[in-house]
Structure 1
Amino acid sequence: MKIIFSMVSIKPWILLITFFTAFSAMANEEGPGVIKGQVTTSDGKPAEMVSVSIKGTSHSAITDDNGHFVIKNLKPGTYTIELSLVGHESIFQSVVVDGEHAAEVKLQINLAEKQLQEVFVVAGKTGYKLNNVSSSLRLTTPINKLPQNIQVVSRQLLADQGTFDMLEGVSRNVSGVSKLEHWDMYVRLNMRGSRIAPFRNGMNVESTWGPLAEDISMVERVEFVKGPAGFMMANGEPSGFYNIVTKKPTGQTKGEANVTLGSYDTYRAAVDLDGKLSGDGKLLYRLNVMGQLKGSHRPFEFSNRYSIAPVLKYQFSPKTSLTLEYTYQNMRSTPIGTAYVFAPNKYGSTGRNTTIAEPGMERSVFRDHSSFLIFEHQFNPDWKFTTQLAYFNYDQVGTSMWADSVKANGDVYRNMGIWDAKNEGKYAQAFVNGKFTTGAVAHNILAGLDYGDKNYIADFSQSLPVNGKNIFNIYNPVHNMTPDEFPVFDRSIRLKDRPGASRLSQKVLGVYVQDELHFWDDRIRLTLAGRFTTSKDEEYGAGVSESKVTPRVGLSVSVDKNTSVYALYDEAFVPQTGKDKHDKKFTPVTGHNIEAGVKRDWFNGKWNSTVSVYQITKNNVLVTDPEDTKFSIQLGQTKTRGVEADIRGEVAKGLNLVLNYAFTESFISKDTDPKNVGNATPGTTKHINNGWLSYQLPGKLKGFGVSTGYQWQMGRSSWFVFDGSEASLPAYFRFDGAVSWHKGHYGVNLNVNNILDKYLYSGSPYGNYFYWQTEASRNFRLTLQYRW
């Protein structure tokens, strides 16, 4: 504790003590009357995560893993218990409390266990394994029976790992995913040979520089879909995408508050409120609020954020609902790019705390607004219609910093450029899910359309040298610049009217239909689908309009009730804007994926394993021009093939595990320059192996938990380089751990990252020098939690 107190000022601790004292007073109230009981499903299984409330009062509880609940502080009398589920009629039962003995009740909901999981598919179970994808992926078939490799990262796993945002270690939980260097505010994840697109609630929100990385406080789960996915993507890389599912109202009255203190002046607080706004339970709400002050292991750097994410859901009837969601994120940081170090000799030739930043530099400000309107109507048990609209508006006022040149002795001539930007996205979706039978064949139908309109404008045109009193040397850095020595940029003209502003735009319309045919009592499932996509793109003055039909065929066979094998063929279509340095416009990427795998649930579905093999062929791939990094060049063709294995879930009582491995081989198979053929594709990692193990102690130590995990990467190539030379990155190994205690309403988590204190980094050669971005040395985060 001495170490912890030495790193934290007294004021945050006063706030922390006040915060938890207030909640302690609330939690320690005891009343004379108690109602306790168990809720089961229609097939006799415990019903967890069900809201139990006392009608006409504020008393409520949530059933645990065994369906049990306890409600205290009741005066003697007769009460009406209400069981509520989103989209289903409430269940009522009368019970008498005498004030001397606990009243015990047994209740049953008219849903089977599988149906209950579907009701709470967004909220999910606590633990690491989830059986179904979210409704935003449009699929109703359980993950184990889908002819595609889909991995879901649960909220519980992210909490155990002490994750703050998508820039941190979310990628460690899925085979073959790696995080490349970034511009501090957005996420670039690679998988199966290329960058994967960011989705939010089923919509492709990718832009060249964005969107702003989501804070985990607003995230319910993260779904990684591997390979092309014609049922989801109007356009996108054939390697796949990740889908952020935001928190929605559950119909349960509950809440959670967290306060975190950590290394490098990190202070964070978050509150999650969930409940009802009307007595009839039709108007529901969810509110997540977060505030964060976060320093860095590099001096003069910071990343301060706050966010607010209110959600309202109105249940017109058990069959019809309307959801309105809004999110505002605000981030203020040092100039973009100051996280990088530049040196002439090799990677890692300076200390990991080295920085090119100066104290008092102009901060960059990011404001990110997003909103969703979702309408759902269940015509009958077999047919459902969903439509959703979304609007994204991102505003950035800031600067970037880079090296203009680097000399052999380590002198770095720094350059600062303006980077003001606006990003606007408008999206619409409408789709229908349905079921019917023709003879002995059952059909699952998915049909719909997607529309997206993205516009990005940025001013990179103003750039000035950063000159201090002395030439800045990376091996002997002196930070003595004063505010009057920093460049000043002209912002007198509105961004959209600035003559040097760059504009990027894209309009996409996709129409698709998919039929999942079920044969032989659902033992065999054949997926047949097709998608028509048309796109109009413009970037840096070059525009292109393209249309294409892409087919999809999948087969999944249940060997037994726990094991399935699958095969898949799918195609992708990615329009590309812009032109090379010879003024030649780029043609669209086309690609296809051939994949096969085995999925199995173990020990009554407590944990799951997936093994897959695949080959992706991409035509007309863009990479950075090694002769002039301001431009891109278009390769003829790349091939990516590999093997992936994932294990997740409760492998023994109290022991949750995430373990994954991926072998990825990605290379240039055709090119106009024969010498490039056979070279590795930039940004790929040949071997990725991750593990995370969490154990909840039994017996007298119940409530205590220990966790540990590692990330191991070998055969890393940098973002720009694909020649396998010394410019490739060295192997990467990081070891983390955590201890926790949870009892009743309270919880404490202590996470320690980079326990072995390794010098970890990612980067690339850049002309005649190297640049890289380091990770922090050994560091900690202490989180105190209260749930009600």
Structure 2
Amino acid sequence: MKIIFNTKAYFLVLLLSSLQMMAQQDFGKVAGKISLSGNTAAENISVTLKGTKYSDVTTVSGQYEITRVKPGTYTIVIRAVGIAPLEDKVVVTAKQTTTKNFSLNESQEDLQEVVITKNKYKQDKPSMSLRLQTPVLEIPQNIQIVSGQTLKDQQITSMSDGVIRNVSGAVRLEHWGDLYTNITMRGSQIQAFRNGFNVVSSFWGPLTEDMSFVDHIEFVKGPAGFMLSSGDPSGLYNVVTKKPTGVTKGEVSALVGSFDFYRVSVDLDGKLDKKGKLLYRFNGAAQKKGSHRPFEHNDRYVIAPVISYQFDDKTKLTFEYNFQYANMTEIGSYYVFGPKAGGYATMPRNFTMTAPGIPDTNIQDHSGYLQFEHKFDDNWKLTAQTSYFKYLQQGYSSWPTAVGPATTANGDIGNGDIIRNSSIWDADSDMFLGQIFVNGKFNTGAVSHKLLGGIDLGDKDYMADWGQSHDLDTAANPFNIWNPNYGTPSNGFPQFDRDTPLSQRAGGLYGSEYASGYIQDELGFFQNRLRVTLAARYTWISQTSSYEDTREDSHISPRGGVSFSVTEDLALYGLYDQAFIPQTGVVSSGEVKPLTGNNLEFGVKKDWFDGSWNTTLSVYNILKKNELTSDPASTPARPLSIVLGEKRARGVEFDLRGKIFDGLNLIANYAFTESIVSEVDPTVSLATGIKVGDVVPGYAKHTANAWLNYTVPAGKLKGFGASIGGTFLDGRQTDTWGEGLEKLPTYFKLDGGLSYEIGKVKVTANVFNILDKYLYSGSYYEWLQAYYWQSEPGRNFRVGVTYKF
């Protein structure tokens, strides 16, 4: 038996070696750098070997790499709108790398877009803030990128304004207005990142990003803790902000819409010196936004300057500042409450319970970034970056103290009496974050390596005063939903103490410090046809809270992935990953521990028709331990959490995006999600009624989205476009454990639009909720014995004009 085993092992090694030798003999590689005038790196420029399917897109440093090219003589083509086309001959030799660098000149003709990819809805490479050097097709993980052009075509103005329709399985069952994004995916709320930094300082935050300074958004399914510090096992979204391109251009947009919606934005990009070493980017926006509910508004003002300096070919320094100012109706004004006997949506969708006269809530959101990049050579690069986030809020939150009797004596819907309550919500958050990491490439014999290693540091503090509250109505003179009085409330308006410093009156104090180190190696076999990823991260976290003692913990999270290119445009992958994140909350019994979880995932990725469009199919199984969830016995005055033993999420996801043929672009996705309690402490089960097999709140079992856009590419109607899109949700679970007597209904929303582009001007008009359906999201609140919901507007429109110069 030993001889047979040794013979088989020898035969296997011989076979693998033979295949590797064959691969080495058959293929070569073309690589290089593309620069604009002034030696500015040209990012996202398409590089193609003419008449073949071999192609790549340049990285942020202008680098491209076309692998597994058969030996021969080719014509390499560089072409982009606004840049003079460039072609050259290149000879590819087996087992050799042919280096071909290009320097491009700006075209004097009208610039429309310098950032060129194969199409406007598909991006082939992640940003450097994800720290990867690998095309999306070859990464052993489901990563979906929502391009900047997608945001423009769909007239998305903020992170909470329809972005999730472009990603499978992403939902917002609790909308939280246009204040917090709070996206749920794979059965849990996913983490919010910006430029690679985890920007979550509290359960509610961060303030949803305005799209004026956003370049694109990356959705990473699964833990991905090795890349971006601690993160939920369900995934994260990474908002990538706009950076200078080195090309002088500008854009001004104006947008008007239903419910007193007015918005202007500007995007300026260019050089501050003749050599093109000192670059700038400035984005700004001003928005006045009403609502389909009376007395409600949400106004925004945004500025986002960026300055970068290229010292030489190897070193670059970038400074960025984002400021968002929001002035809005009190938090929670968008919710409506109804008695248990009535169920959801018993009031018209434009009904409001707010009290005109409550002062506005003001939010100032500051963030600053300093990034240093240094290339030692073409294979090794060091990135160090630090950021500071400051969040200031002074405002109010509305939530009723009591909802009238559920039924009358004869069993009809109750009398509709409600005692409204307004509480203070002043908050102050500071986050100091730092990262340093190294990307490297090297070979050991016939095996290639893409190495990633680094350190993450963070210090986060959040404090809030939500302890002062005031009933607007009295039991003798309540607010009645059937006969609302929007005059001065019977109990008057609140007069809260703001003379005392927030640090002394804050009832909620949360803090965390963390330090972590990680290393990952992507090993490439058979000319990188087979890729094996091995990684590990060590994380130390210390948490403080006004409700409990300081806690410290540490954990090592391993990661392993395999990706295999069956062909150049078809890859299979498998992944095992773990997560480790801190949690904050108050529990009536037990101890709050960091959440740990793991993800097992398999998938298929395919590029179609020379990469014009892409599909991703994935299946996953996530286990999470020690996760906090809301206690059914919780009250606004004393919000409590419970610790679940273990929950399991399983699902299937499918995404399609790209150019089907010239002029026709499609985004479509579907996800099946199921999340249940797999283990529960008997004490918790006895106190709450939660048991093994119960459905975990906060997701939709079936989600499906599509967005189809066609633009006439030639002829008399050139530049005319039309779009149609829809969102379907079924099996929606509420965000609370209390089920009530009624489930959330099936959701379907249909949107569409027209556009026309001629020269430097583009006009876009979209109609949302074309079918004028009553759409809403909500939950049952056990403590009040009431339903609450937030309605979406009926049929509404937006018309925008963009001028490029």
Q: 2: CA distance between counterparts of 1:432 and 1:307?
A: 33
Under a length normalisation based on structure 1, what TM-score does the superposition of the two structures give?
A: 0.85
Distance 1:215 1:738, change over 3 A: same
1:518 corresponds to: 524
Q: 2: CA distance between counterparts of 1:377 and 1:64?
A: 22
Shift of 1:230: 2.8
1:706 to 700, 722, 729: 722
2:228 corresponds to: 233
2:410 corresponds to: none
Q: 2: CA distance between counterparts of 1:121 and 1:455?
A: 41
1:371 maps to 2:368: yes
Amino acid at match of 1:381: D
2:377 corresponds to: 380
Under a length normalisation based on structure 2, what TM-score does the superposition of the two structures give?
A: 0.83
Deviations 1:446-503 (A, max 9, x none): 00011111100000111010138942112322212279931111101111122x5310
1:403 match: secondary structure:
coil
Deviations 1:684-730 (A, max 9, x none): 2100000000000242111100001001000000101376x644311
Distance 1:562 1:514, change over 3 A: same
Q: 2: CA distance between counterparts of 1:516 and 1:66?
A: 24
| 8 A contact 1:544–1:577 mirrored in 2 | no
Shift of 1:589: 1.4
1:7 corresponds to: none
Q: 2: CA distance between counterparts of 1:53 and 1:444?
A: 30
Q: 1: CA distance between counterparts of 2:172 and 2:675?
A: 17
Amino acid at match of 2:274: G
Amino acid at match of 2:270: G
Q: 2: CA distance between counterparts of 1:252 and 1:487?
A: 53
2:554 corresponds to: 547
Q: 1: CA distance between counterparts of 2:384 and 2:39?
A: 35
Q: 1: CA distance between counterparts of 2:720 and 2:35?
A: 25
Structure 2: which 5+ runs fail to align? Answer: 1-28, 49-57, 64-82, 91-97, 104-112, 406-414
Q: 2: CA distance between counterparts of 1:553 and 1:531?
A: 12
1:191 to 182, 185, 188: 185
1:782 maps to 2:779: no
2:151 corresponds to: 158
Shift of 1:330: 0.4
1:415 corresponds to: 421
1:392 corresponds to: 389
Shift of 1:359: 2.1
1:263 maps to 2:245: no
Shift of 1:577: 3.0
Distance 1:297 1:50, change over 3 A: farther
| 8 A contact 1:579–1:585 mirrored in 2 | no
1:70 corresponds to: none
| 8 A contact 1:443–1:517 mirrored in 2 | yes
2:634 corresponds to: 628
1:571 maps to 2:578: yes
Q: 2: CA distance between counterparts of 1:44 and 1:224?
A: 28
Deviations 1:341-373 (A, max 9, x none): 000020111000010112232000000110000
Distance 1:320 1:123, change over 3 A: farther
Amino acid at match of 1:771: Y
| 8 A contact 1:87–1:319 mirrored in 2 | no
Amino acid at match of 1:297: H
1:487 corresponds to: 494
Q: 2: CA distance between counterparts of 1:428 and 1:398?
A: 31
1:307 corresponds to: 302
1:276 corresponds to: 271
Shift of 1:195: 0.5
2:164 match: secondary structure:
helix
Q: 2: CA distance between counterparts of 1:760 and 1:158?
A: 22
1:71 corresponds to: none
Shift of 1:50: 8.2
Q: 2: CA distance between counterparts of 1:668 and 1:86?
A: 43
Amino acid at match of 1:716: R
| 8 A contact 1:664–1:687 mirrored in 2 | yes
1:332 to 327, 330, 346: 327
2:609 corresponds to: 603
1:588 maps to 2:588: no
| 8 A contact 1:718–1:727 mirrored in 2 | no
1:445 match: secondary structure:
strand
1:139 corresponds to: 132
Distance 1:340 1:561, change over 3 A: same
1:438 corresponds to: 444
Q: 2: CA distance between counterparts of 1:716 and 1:375?
A: 45
Distance 1:428 1:121, change over 3 A: farther
Q: 1: CA distance between counterparts of 2:379 and 2:39?
A: 33
Which moves more between the two structures, 472-481 or 503-512? 472-481
Deviations 1:146-176 (A, max 9, x none): 0000000000001111101011110110001
Q: 2: CA distance between counterparts of 1:266 and 1:275?
A: 30
Q: 1: CA distance between counterparts of 2:197 and 2:39?
A: 39
Shift of 1:544: 1.4
1:763 corresponds to: 778
Q: 2: CA distance between counterparts of 1:223 and 1:121?
A: 21
| 8 A contact 1:277–1:285 mirrored in 2 | yes
1:648 maps to 2:665: no
Structure 1: which 5+ runs fail to align? Answer: 1-41, 56-60, 68-83, 90-103
1:317 match: secondary structure:
coil
Which moves more between the two structures, 699-708 or 628-637? 628-637
Q: 1: CA distance between counterparts of 2:114 and 2:677?
A: 41
2:76 corresponds to: none
Q: 2: CA distance between counterparts of 1:712 and 1:105?
A: 44
Percent identity over the alignment? 48
| 8 A contact 2:138–2:565 mirrored in 1 | yes
1:558 maps to 2:565: yes
Q: 1: CA distance between counterparts of 2:617 and 2:130?
A: 22
Shift of 1:179: 1.1
Amino acid at match of 1:626: P
| 8 A contact 1:721–1:727 mirrored in 2 | no
Amino acid at match of 2:484: P
Distance 1:693 1:567, change over 3 A: same
| 8 A contact 1:126–1:156 mirrored in 2 | no
Distance 1:480 1:548, change over 3 A: same
Shift of 1:510: 1.1
Amino acid at match of 1:353: N
Shift of 1:626: 1.0
Q: 2: CA distance between counterparts of 1:193 and 1:114?
A: 47
1:16 corresponds to: none
Query: Cα RMSD (Å) of the superposition?
Result: 2.9
1:537 maps to 2:543: yes
Q: 1: CA distance between counterparts of 2:182 and 2:273?
A: 42
Q: Structure 2 matches for 1:165-204, cutoff 5 A?
A: 165-184=158-177, 185-204=179-198
Distance 1:696 1:114, change over 3 A: farther
Deviations 1:256-300 (A, max 9, x none): 100001100011000000000011100000000100000000000
1:454 maps to 2:454: no
Q: 2: CA distance between counterparts of 1:507 and 1:115?
A: 45
Distance 1:592 1:63, change over 3 A: closer
How many equivalent pairs are there? Answer: 705
Q: 1: CA distance between counterparts of 2:800 and 2:655?
A: 29
Q: 1: CA distance between counterparts of 2:100 and 2:389?
A: 35
1:664 corresponds to: 673
Q: 1: CA distance between counterparts of 2:44 and 2:157?
A: 28
1:98 corresponds to: none
Shift of 1:105: 7.3
